[in-house]
Amino acid sequence: MLAELQGKGLLIHHWDTDGICSVRLLLEHLSDKNVVNKTPELGNYFLTKNELNEYSDYDFVIVADMSLPKDNILKLAKNAKVLIFDHHLGQEIKEVFHQNPIIKGENPDEYPSTSWIINCFLDNDVNLFALLGVVGDHEQKIKNNQLTYTTITNFCNENNLTFNDMLKMVYLLDSSYKIGDKKAVEKAPRLLLNYTSANEILENTQWNENFTKLNEEITKQLEQASDEINGTILKKINTSYNIISTITRKVAWESGKNTLVINTGFFEDMDQIYVRSNKNAEPMIKRGKDLGFKCGGKKEVLGAIVPKEKTDSFVEEIMEFLTKK
Ligand SMILES: [Mn+2]
């Protein structure tokens, strides 16, 4: 299917490790074609009008690890052949090639990342990039997924790596978007194409500098007090770094409790809301979309971007949902 693609191609991808590794795998496969890769404005799970205009003269567009709104996809599909590889929840977009086993009801444990889905699609052997996407999306939690964790452990043993090395690579790859460096995110997939060992990732100077800076900021934000209401943790932060998902994970995984984090410092007129839930968060993702917010996620995760004046009421609704027995 990829072999048939012709002309100029554009890869649009999530800014995280899974998105970067997904593109790394695609680029290797598309090496005979003329392609560029772009990530949306960091923090946006949609394309702006400007981006849509800019992206209107490609012959094919591949979207990786991102559940872009349907109207974005249909706009891209007016001039280009569009393929989507993803594992986020959402509706199937039947007008384009949409490879998303999760939407089709497959077991998420068998498709733990987009890099994994793409690697299967390409018929590749297990490799570092397929697995880094998995570790990026799940971190320690992947240890609860027997099947995949065994694959990771075997790979690590064969390649003289530890699970902690994998985690460190993920933190380094994620450091570009967290620090707000969109250009560096977009450069990463080609850099990885030229890297021949895991050590080259681990020793990348820029990513290591980012990593140190981010750790200082994350520690600072985690030290700030948070509230707990009926077993759900509510935490407000104010940071210009894109670390809300990291903060939410840390709080949720250390406490084992539902966690809702609000960041008032990333966008000028919008707040970021991020939730990790012990129950299925899908009804609230739908609710956020119905309210007209940019909102998405997976079963246990909700992310939303909400106009500042709407934050309180939406947070109240989510808290009610989370604390309801
Ligand atoms: Mn992913």
- Kindly give the confidence (pLDDT) of every residue in the chain, 325 residues in length, as a single tens digit, with 9 standing for 90 and above: 898 999 999 999 999 999 999 999 999 999 999 999 999 999 888 999 999 999 999 999 999 999 999 999 999 999 999 999 999 988 899 999 999 999 999 999 999 999 999 999 999 999 999 999 999 999 999 999 999 999 999 999 999 999 999 999 999 999 999 999 999 999 999 999 999 899 999 999 999 999 999 999 999 999 999 999 999 999 999 999 999 999 999 999 999 999 999 999 999 999 999 999 999 999 999 999 999 998 988 889 999 999 999 999 999 999 999 998 7
Q: How far is the CA of 120 from the centre of ligand 1 (A)?
A: 15
Q: How far is the CA of 4 from the centre of ligand 1 (A)?
A: 26
Q: How far is the CA of 141 from the centre of ligand 1 (A)?
A: 14
Q: How far is the CA of 256 from the centre of ligand 1 (A)?
A: 22
240 and 191 co-located in one domain: no
Q: How far is the CA of 229 from the centre of ligand 1 (A)?
A: 30
Q: How far is the CA of 230 from the centre of ligand 1 (A)?
A: 31
Residues, Cβ < 5 Å to ion ligand 1: 18, 65, 114, 137
Burial class from Cβ neighbours inside 10 Å (0-12, 13-18, 19+) for residue 32 reads exposed
Q: Which domain holds residue 94?
A: 2-202
Residue 90 lies in a domain: yes
Is residue 37 within 8 A of residue 58, CB to CB? The reply is no
Q: For 308, list phi and psi in degrees, rounded to 5.
A: -50, -35
Q: What is the pLDDT of residue 298?
A: 85
Residue 222 corresponds to which tokens in the numbers above? 């985690």
Residue 269 lies in a domain: yes
15 and 155 co-located in one domain: yes
Domain count along the chain? 2
Q: How far is the CA of 195 from the centre of ligand 1 (A)?
A: 22
Residue 38: CB atoms within 10 A of its CB come to 17
Is residue 61 within 8 A of residue 9, CB to CB? The reply is yes
Q: How far is the CA of 227 from the centre of ligand 1 (A)?
A: 29
Q: Which helix (H) or strand (E) holds 258?
A: strand 258-263
C-alpha gyration radius of the chain: 19
291 and 172 co-located in one domain: no
Q: How far is the CA of 46 from the centre of ligand 1 (A)?
A: 15
Q: What is the pLDDT of residue 167?
A: 98
Residue 30 lies in a domain: yes
Question: CA-CA distance, 273 to 308, in Å (whole number)?
Answer: 11
Q: How far is the CA of 216 from the centre of ligand 1 (A)?
A: 26
Q: How far is the CA of 14 from the centre of ligand 1 (A)?
A: 8
Query: What is the domain-level CATH number for residue 253?
Result: 3.10.310.40
Residue 13 lies in a domain: yes
- In the sheet with 60-64, reading across from the earlier edge strand, the strands are 34-38, 8-13, 60-64, 81-85, 97-99
Q: Residue 125 has what DSSP assignment? A: P
Q: How far is the CA of 33 from the centre of ligand 1 (A)?
A: 25
Q: What is the pLDDT of residue 43?
A: 84
Q: How far is the CA of 247 from the centre of ligand 1 (A)?
A: 18
Is residue 98 within 8 A of residue 87, CB to CB? The reply is no
Q: Output the pTM of the full model.
A: 0.88
Q: How far is the CA of 19 from the centre of ligand 1 (A)?
A: 6
196 and 239 co-located in one domain: no
The residue type found at 167 is: L
Last residue of a domain, one of 202, 237, 259: 202
Q: What is the pLDDT of residue 204?
A: 98
127 and 167 co-located in one domain: yes
Q: How far is the CA of 179 from the centre of ligand 1 (A)?
A: 19
Q: How far is the CA of 114 from the centre of ligand 1 (A)?
A: 5
Q: How far is the CA of 133 from the centre of ligand 1 (A)?
A: 7
